[in-house]
Amino acid sequence: MKEEDVLSEWKEQEELVDKKKAKKMVWKTRLSIGFTVIRTLLLLLLIYFLYMVPVEIFYNISGKGNQFNRIVTTLVETHYPGVEVDKYGARDSAEITSLLTKKTSIPLYQSVGNWDVVIGDVSAKDGLFGKLHYTVDLTKKYVEEDMVPTFFLPPDLMGKPVTGRTGEDPIFKEQIEKIEDGYVAEIAFSTTESMEPEQLRSMLAEYDLSIYQMAVFGGEMNEVEVNYAQSGQFTMISPLLLRPAVEYDEKHQISSSYHDLTNKEALQQSIESFYDDMKWLVEHGNYPNKGIDQKRLAYLNEHEMKVFGAIVTGPIREIEKLKDEEKFHQFQLGGIEVWNWSE
pTM of the entire predicted model: 0.84
Alpha carbons 185 and 313: distance in angstroms, whole number = 6
Residue 146 is predicted with a pLDDT of 72
Distances (CA, A) of 52 to 36, 82, 92, 130, 248: 24, 38, 17, 21, 27
Contact 188, 331 (CB under 8 A): yes
Q: Count H helices and E strands in the chain, helices first.
A: 7, 15
Task: State the DSSP code for 144.
Answer: T
Identify the pLDDT of residue 74. 96
Query: So what's the pLDDT on residue 328?
Result: 94
CA–CA separation, 333 and 251 (whole Å): 38
Give the list of residues 6+ apart from residue 77 with CB closer than 8 angstroms, or none. 83, 84, 85, 241, 243
The helix, strand and coil proportions of the chain, stated in percent and rounded to the nearest 5, come to 40, 30, 30
49, amino acid identity: F
pLDDT recorded at residue 253: 87
Q: What is the pLDDT along the chain (343 residues), one digit of tens a residue?
A: 455 554 455 555 555 556 666 667 767 777 778 788 888 888 877 776 666 667 667 667 767 888 999 999 999 999 999 999 998 876 677 888 877 888 999 999 999 999 999 999 999 998 877 789 999 998 877 776 777 888 999 989 988 887 777 666 788 889 999 999 999 999 999 999 999 999 999 999 999 999 999 999 999 988 898 988 887 677 899 999 999 999 998 888 888 889 999 999 999 999 999 999 999 999 999 999 999 999 999 999 999 999 999 999 999 999 999 999 999 999 999 999 999 998 6
Can you give 285-312 as a three-state secondary structure string? CCCCCHHHHHHHHHHHHHCCCCEEEEEE
User: Residue 186 has what pLDDT?
Assistant: 96
Minimal CA–CA distance to 330: which of 112, 147, 165, 176? 165
pLDDT of 30 = 76
Taking the C-alpha atoms of residue 83 and residue 331, their distance in angstroms, rounded to an integer, is 17
Distances (CA, A) of 291 to 61, 106, 143, 315: 31, 25, 34, 40
Q: What is the pLDDT of residue 6?
A: 47
